Chain A
Amino acid sequence: MNSLLGWLDQRTGYKAIVKHALYENVPGGARWRYVWGSTLTFCLAIQFITGIFLWMAYSPSSQTAWESVYYIQNEMMGGWFLRGLHHYTAQAMNVLLVLHLMQVVIDGAYKAPREINFWFGLGLLMLVMGLSLTGYLLPWDQKGYWATKVATSIAAITPVFGAEVQKLIIGGSDYGHHTLTRFFALHAGVLPASIIALLVGHIYLFRRHGLKAKEPRMRPDAAFWPDQVLKDAVACLAVLAAVLFLVIRTHGAELTAPADPSEPYSAARPEWYFLFLFQFLKYFPGGTEIWGAIIIPTVVMLVVFAMPFFGNWKLGHRFNLGLMWSLLAGAGLLTWLAIAEDGRNPDYLAGVKAGHIEAERVKELAQSPAGISQLGAVNLLRTDPLTQGPKLFAKNCASCHRYDGHDGLGNVPKDAQSAADLKGFAGRPWLAGLLDPAKVGSTNYFGGTKFRDGKMVKFVKKDIAGFSAEEQAQLKKVIAAISAEAELKSQRTSDVVDAAVIAEGRALAAGDSMRCTECHQFRRKDDDASAPDLTGYGSREWLISILSDPAHDRFYGKRNDRMPAFGKDEVLDAQSIGLLADWLRGDWYEAR
C-alpha cells in the first residue's frame, strides 16, 4: 500500500497538497466563528450532487418541466427527499452567505491585502442569488412562473436596451420552451461553472493571505487539521440537520399547479430571501421603478464593493460595520413588512389557499387512469370541472344564483341572491324542495325571480299543498322520475335500484293527473309548452342547452327572466359551458 501511495506521490505530489490543505496554520487556534466558509462549500457540494441527480430526471420544456418535476416528486423513489434537499439547502446557503459576509466584515477580513478576495466573495454571493432566481422557475409551476415573470419584467426597465435584454433572458417575446432551456443552462451550466472558477480563486487567495484572526487570540496557533476540521464538520452537520428537518417536515419542496398564463395566481411571491427587494419596489410609484429595481440596488452593491477602500480611513471600519448592519436591518424590516402585509391581504391568503387546493387536485388528476397526455399537465386543470366550475360560476352566475349559499368559491357575493341555489340541481332533494309549498317561494328557488308569483309557484303552494297522502306518494315517484332524467353520478345507484318507481313516476308525469304536461313537455313534443322541457331535465345536454340559450322555446322562451344566453351570445365558449354543466352535475374525476 505504502509503495503504491509512494508511486502515486512521485507522479502527482499529492502528499504535499494534502499537507498544505490540512496543516494550514489557524492563528489563535480553532474557533467556531471560522466555520462559515466551510459550511458554504459544503452546501455547494450538496447542491452539485443533488443537482446532478435531479438533472437526470428533469426535462426543460414548457410541456415537460412541471411534468418531470411532478414525476420526481411523486413517482420516483425518494425523489421528494432529493428535491427537498436541493430546495432547502439553497435556502440555507442564502442564510449562510449573509453570516459569512457579516463575519468577514466584523473581523475586518475585507481590508488590505484581502480586497480582491472580498470581491470574489461578493461575486460568489451574486452568482448564488442568480442560481436561486433561475432555479425557482425550473419546476414551471404557478408560483415560480409568476414570481419569475416579475423579475424578468424588471429587466425590461433597464434603460436603452431593456426590451432586448428581456428578450434575450427569456429567449423570445414570451415565456416558453426557450425560457426554460436558457434558465436551465444558466442554472446547471454557466452559473455553477462560474462559481467553481470564483471559488478556486477565493480559496487560493484565502490560503495565500491566511486566516484573519480575531483578536485577541485566546490560544496558541494550531493546524487546520483536526481541530478546525472537526468544528467545520460539526457545523456542516448542524446545517444538514436543519435542512433535513425542513425537508421531512414539509415532505420536500412544494410544487404548485402547472404554469398557466391564463390563470391568475395572486400568491405569486419570490422566495423569502428576495422578499425585501419585492417589498422595496412597492414604494416606487409608476415611472420611478427603475430607482427601486436597478439604480438603488446597484449603488448599494457598488458601495459594498468599495468597502475595502473605506476600511483604510480612520473611521472607515466603523462606517462599514454600520453600513452592513443597517443594510441587514433594512432588508430584515422590508422582509417583515412584506410578510405582515401579505398576512393581512385577503387576496393573497385566498391565493395561497387556492394554490394549495389546485396543487393537490392536479396531483390527483395526474395519478388518475387517464394520466398526463401529450398536451401536458396544464390541460388537466383546464379541463377539470371541479377546478373550473366554481370559478366560472363565481364569475358568470353568482351575481344572481348561489351554490350552497355562496358563489362556488366559498365567498358570499355582494349582490343579493335573486335566483335559485343550484347546489344539487336536478337531484331528488333539490326537486323535492322545488315542489315543497314552504320552499318554492324562497330565494333558493323562485323567490328572487320574476316567477315568484308565477304559475309554478302558485301550483305548488295551492295544489300540491292540498295533495292527499296518496298524491304525495305519487309526487315522490314523479320526483324520482324527473330526477332520473339528469342521470346524475351521485344517483347512479338509486336510479338503478328504483327503476320500477321511476317507470311509474314517468308515466305519472306524462299523464294528466299530476298536471306537469299542462305547461311542460315531457318525452313528447308539445309546441304549446310554455315552461322548461322536462325531457332530459338536468342532463348534460339539457344544461348545456339552457346555459347556451335560456330564451329558446324549449326553455323559458320570451318569458326568460334575466339569464344571459352564454352560448348564443358567445359570453362563454363551448368548453367552459360544458365544464360548468359538468360541475353543476357533480360530474368530475374522483380519486378512490
Chain B
Amino acid sequence: MAEQDDESQSGRRDFLLKAAAVGIGAVTTLVPAGAGLVTLLDPLRHKARAGTFLRVATLNALPEDGTPRQYPVVSERQDAWNKFPQVRVGAVYLRRTGAKDVQAINVVCPHAGCFVNYQPDQKQYLCPCHNSSFALDGAIKDPSSPSPRPLDTMEVKVSDDGGVWVKFENYRAGVHEKVVAS
C-alpha cells in the first residue's frame, strides 16, 4: 500500500515537473513571438486617407473630341516615417463628356491592379496583364474579359477658373462591387 502511494506520488511529481517545464518553456517563447506579432499587425491600425478633391488638369487641356488623356495625381502623402507635401500618388484618365463635363477614370485595372493603357486606334483601354478591355467610358468591352467590373470612375468638379478637380480614391481589386480601399 505504502509502495503504491509512493509510486503515485512520484508519478504526480513527475507530471507536475513536466507540466511546469513545458508551461514555462511556452511562456518564455511566447513573449518574443507575441511582441513581434503585435508590431507586425501595426498596419491594420492605419486607414487609407479619405478621398479628397485634387486639382489634376484644366478643362482647356482636354481634347474636345472626348479622347482620354492621362494625368498624374499629386497629393500630400504620409509614407510610414516620411511626409511628402507634394508627390505623385497615382494617375487618372480624363475625358471630356460635354462642354463642362469631364469623366475621370482610375488607371488601375479592377481585376488585379495593373495600369491599363489607352489604345487610340481601338478607342479602348487594354490591361497589359490579363487582356481585359474597356470601352472609352470604362465599361467592360469584351464579355470574356477577366475584370469583374468596369474601370473605376471618380467624382469630378470643374471650378470656375476651368480647373478639373478629381476626388481621387483607390478601389479594391478583384471584386464585383466598387469598394474604396481602406
Asked whether, in the complex, the Cβ of B32 is within 8 Å of the Cβ of A85, the reply is yes
Segment from A110-118, A320-328, A365-373 that makes contact with B: A365-373
Q: Which of B18, B32, B42, B80 contacts A50 (CB 8 A)?
A: B32
Q: Which of A50, A71, A81 contacts B81 (CB 8 A)?
A: A71
Asked whether, in the complex, the Cβ of A240 is within 8 Å of the Cβ of B35, the reply is no
Residues of A within 8 A of B84 (CB): 373-374
Bound CA–CA A355/B20 (angstroms): 45
Residues of A within 8 A of B99 (CB): none
Contact mask B19-46 → A, CB, 8 Å, 1/0? 0110011011101110111111110010
Asked whether, in the complex, the Cβ of B17 is within 8 Å of the Cβ of A370, the reply is no
B69-127 contacts to A, CB under 8 A, are 78, 80-85
Count residues of B near A (Cβ-Cβ below 8 Å): 29
Residues of B within 8 A of A373 (CB): 82-85
A54-83 contacts to B, CB under 8 A, are 56-57, 64, 67-68, 70-72, 75-79, 81-82
Asked whether, in the complex, the Cβ of A78 is within 8 Å of the Cβ of B81, the reply is no
Whether B14 sits at the interface, judged by CB under 8 Å, is yes
Q: A230-B20, A233-B24, A236-B24 are in contact. Are A70 and B32 (CB under 8 A)?
A: no
Asked whether, in the complex, the Cβ of A76 is within 8 Å of the Cβ of B39, the reply is yes
Segment from A41-49, A150-158, A193-201, A559-567 that makes contact with B: A41-49
Q: A45-B29, A77-B45 are in contact. Are A68 and B81 (CB under 8 A)?
A: yes
Asked whether, in the complex, the Cβ of B17 is within 8 Å of the Cβ of A227, the reply is yes
Asked whether, in the complex, the Cβ of B32 is within 8 Å of the Cβ of A46, the reply is yes
Residues of B within 8 A of A53 (CB): 35-37, 39-40
Residues of B within 8 A of A77 (CB): 38-39, 41-42, 45
Q: Which of B17, B28, B39, B78 contacts A230 (CB 8 A)?
A: B17
Looking at chain B's contact residues, is the secondary structure mostly helix, strand, loop, or mixed? helix
Asked whether, in the complex, the Cβ of A372 is within 8 Å of the Cβ of B83, the reply is yes
Asked whether, in the complex, the Cβ of A237 is within 8 Å of the Cβ of B40, the reply is no
Count residues of A near B (Cβ-Cβ below 8 Å): 41
Q: A52-B36, A240-B31 are in contact. Are A233 and B82 (CB under 8 A)?
A: no
Asked whether, in the complex, the Cβ of B24 is within 8 Å of the Cβ of A49, the reply is no
Asked whether, in the complex, the Cβ of B82 is within 8 Å of the Cβ of A230, the reply is no
A-B contact count (CB 8 A): 98
A354-391 contacts to B, CB under 8 A, are 366, 370-374, 377
With both chains docked as a complex, state the minimum distance between the C-beta of A138 and any C-beta of chain B, in angstroms. 15
CB closest chain-B residue, reference A243:
B31
Q: Which of B18, B36, B37, B80 contacts A71 (CB 8 A)?
A: B80
Asked whether, in the complex, the Cβ of B81 is within 8 Å of the Cβ of A366, the reply is yes
CB closest chain-A residue, reference B20:
A230
Whether A176 sits at the interface, judged by CB under 8 Å, is no
Q: A67-B81, A75-B81, A226-B21 are in contact. Are A244 and B40 (CB under 8 A)?
A: no
Q: A76-B39, A229-B21, A234-B24 are in contact. Are A49 and B32 (CB under 8 A)?
A: yes
CB closest chain-B residue, reference A63:
B82
With both chains docked as a complex, state the minimum distance between the C-beta of B39 and any C-beta of chain A, in angstroms. 5
Asked whether, in the complex, the Cβ of A72 is within 8 Å of the Cβ of B17, the reply is no
CB closest chain-B residue, reference A76:
B42
Asked whether, in the complex, the Cβ of A237 is within 8 Å of the Cβ of B36, the reply is no
Bound CA–CA A46/B34 (angstroms): 11
Bound CA–CA A293/B85 (angstroms): 48
Asked whether, in the complex, the Cβ of A85 is within 8 Å of the Cβ of B31, the reply is yes
CB closest chain-B residue, reference A227:
B17
A217-241 contacts to B, CB under 8 A, are 225-227, 229-230, 233-234, 236-237, 240
Residues of A within 8 A of B80 (CB): 68, 71, 75
With both chains docked as a complex, state the minimum distance between the C-beta of A78 and any C-beta of chain B, in angstroms. 4
With both chains docked as a complex, state the minimum distance between the C-beta of A368 and any C-beta of chain B, in angstroms. 10
Residues of B within 8 A of A50 (CB): 32, 35-36
Bound CA–CA A373/B81 (angstroms): 9
Bound CA–CA A77/B44 (angstroms): 10
Asked whether, in the complex, the Cβ of A226 is within 8 Å of the Cβ of B28, the reply is no
Residues of B within 8 A of A45 (CB): 29, 32
Max chain A CB contacts within 10 Å: which of B18, B21, B84?
Answer: B21
Residues of B within 8 A of A230 (CB): 17, 20-21, 24
Bound CA–CA A227/B14 (angstroms): 9
8 contacts between A and B (CB under 8 A): A49-B29, A50-B36, A53-B39, A68-B81, A229-B21, A230-B21, A233-B21, A374-B82
A-B pairs, top 7 by smallest CB distance, nearest first, are A371-B83, A53-B36, A78-B38, A233-B24, A230-B21, A67-B81, A71-B81
- Additional 7 contacts, C-beta under 8 A, given A236-B28, A373-B85: A77-B45, A78-B38, A79-B42, A226-B17, A233-B28, A237-B27, A371-B83
